[in-house]
Amino acid sequence: MTFVARTWNRLTIPGRVLLGLLLLGGLLTVGLALLIIFSEPILELLGANLPLVRFVAAATAVLLMTIPTAFLIIYMEMKIIALMNLRVGPDRVGPFGSLLSVVHGLKVLMKEDFTPTGADASVFTLAPVVTYLASVMTLLVIPFAPGLFGQDMNIALLYFFAISGLGVVGLLMGGWSSFNKYSLLGGLRSAAQVISYEVPLVLSVVGLLILAGTMSLNQLVLNQAGWFTDWYIWQQPLGFLIFFIAATAEANRTPFDLTEADSEIVAGFATEYSGMRFGFFFFAEYVNVFIVSALTVTLFFGGWNAPFPFPDIGLALDPGSLGIALLILVAVVPLVGILILALPFYLLRSSMPFWQALIIGFVLFNVVAVAAVLGWAFVSLEWVAGLLWFMLKTYSFVFIFVWMRGTLPRVRIDQLMGFAWKWLLPASLLNLFVTAAAVIVVRELRG
């Protein structure tokens, strides 16, 4: 062992990278060989445990999805708030600064991961993981599009509330273990806040559940198919308002971002965190924004349904049926397309050499081709259209969250608690009773 350690220490950094790559390559080769040799029993095993395989695949996909989602929302927030502040915002890295959040992510990765003296190291390390996992796990039940969801549970909504409530445990752990009074205050604030707002949050959807008669998010979305008038927002406007306000508090967003109130308690529970552990908190926060928006859309705004019944154009093109013509198309269309698109530039701009025109033609052709493929997918693949509508609606809500952050100051902790218990809770109870009464009356009238 000492020999290995000594050798490792003597290597230069490129040497270590090379050695690591070699080892990795060897492992992969061995694994691949094993996979090929035992392919038959493996496939059998997978086939026997299909739900499990599906679950693992979905979990991996969801886990990977959080990273671009968080990056996108962070970029949106930077850019939109900048525009509201009459600033330019990020504009250096990538087109319109769009890669800045990626750079932020890299920066966070490269920073020192620091544990303060006196902190409870194990709890301190575990806290961001708990918070992050709680928000990722809730993504599993969100139906993104027809057939595109992690798991279809009949108690999906219950599961959602149960798991999202776990996130606060992570914040509390982080706040308590940091050995910092600001962190402790932040952690306790978040505990008080999230537990208080959990009550109106859950109660505000009960009315909707009475109407829908199901807790499965998929079924809820299917119930809202048709015109946009079929969405639950029209039947539950008060429920939606309460849900949205409580969800803002759940996600710790302005004006309820007391847990990390930077002008009061510095950064709350995250004061002592640095490096990737801080990054996990950060990720979890933005993933939470996405999740809350997604759930709002799913419950009240028809999920992946289009706002109107989409006419079936009948353009169900099957590329396989074209046969040999497909090959010719693939070979000829790009050439012709590039030439046709390049021609006007070459003819109209006499100063332009032909190769520049060709480059422009090439770029334009790619744009057109991608647009065509997307359009085809949108029309003929149900899940693409569904995903598009879902994302459109969800990001509108993300925009509203960002907008609120740019506009509103923060409330005070006593006002926050008072608002939850004195206004939201009675209002959600009222909503529940009115809905229940209305359902009974309608049922009686219909006989």
Binding flag, residue 406, another protein (CB under 8 A)? yes
- Contact between 258 and 416 under an 8 Å Cβ cutoff? The reply is yes
Pick from 177, 195, 193: nearest CA to 260: 193
Beta carbon of residue 249, minimum distance to another protein (angstroms, whole number): 13
Cα separation, 217 vs 222, whole angstroms: 9
Shortest distance, position 113 Cβ to another protein, whole Å? 15
Residues of this chain, 165-204, that bind another protein according to CB under 8 A:
179, 181-182, 185, 189
Query: How many residues belong to the site for another protein (CB under 8 A)?
Result: 33
Q: Count other Cβ atoms within 10 Å, centred on residue 240.
A: 22
CA distances (Å), 406 to each of 74, 84, 253, 287, 435, in order? 13, 7, 11, 19, 35
Phi, psi of 117 (to 5 degrees): -60, 135
Separation between Cα atoms, residue 173 and residue 284, nearest integer Å: 15
Assess 404 for contact with another protein (CB under 8 A): no
Question: Taking the complex as a whole, how short is the minimal distance between the CB of residue 266 and another protein, in angstroms?
Answer: 7
Nearer to another protein, 229 or 415 (CB): 415
Q: Which residues contact 134 (CB under 8 A, 6 or more apart)?
A: 163, 164, 166, 167, 169, 170, 284
91 binds another protein (CB under 8 A): no
Token duo for residue 139: 């993504």
d(CA 306, CA 329): 33
Q: How far is the CB of 180 from another protein (least distance, A)?
A: 10
Judged by beta carbon, residue 412 or residue 422, the one nearer another protein is: 412
* Window of 49-57, 155-163, 384-392, 403-411 that interacts with another protein by CB under 8 A: 403-411
CA distance 81 to 401: 11
* Subset of residues 246 to 275 that bind another protein, contact rule: CB under 8 A: 254-255, 257-258, 261-266
**Contact with another protein (CB under 8 A) among 59, 63, 81, 379:** 81
Between 39 and 85, CB nearer to another protein: 85
Determine, following the binding rule CB under 8 A, whether residue 405 of this chain makes contact with another protein: yes
The answer to whether 251 and 288 have CB atoms below 8 angstroms apart is: yes
Q: How far is the CB of 211 from another protein (least distance, A)?
A: 31
Exposure of 107 by Cβ count < 10 A (0-12 exposed, 13-18 middle, 19+ buried)? exposed
Stretch that binds another protein, among 48-56, 166-174, 203-211, 399-407 (CB under 8 A): 399-407
Contact segment (CB under 8 A) with another protein among 93-101, 276-284, 388-396, 407-415 equals: 407-415
Binding flags for another protein, 274-313, as an x/- string (CB under 8 A): ----------------------------------------
Cα dihedral value 80, 84, 87, 89, nearest 10: -10
- For another protein, which residue of 68, 118, 213, 426 counts as binding (CB under 8 A)? 118
Q: How far is the CB of 202 from another protein (least distance, A)?
A: 25
Question: If we measure between CA atoms, which residue out of 258, 235, 236, 255 comes closest to residue 245?
Answer: 255
Chain positions contacting another protein, by CB under 8 A: 81, 84-87, 117-118, 179, 181-182, 185, 189, 254-255, 257-258, 261-266, 405-415
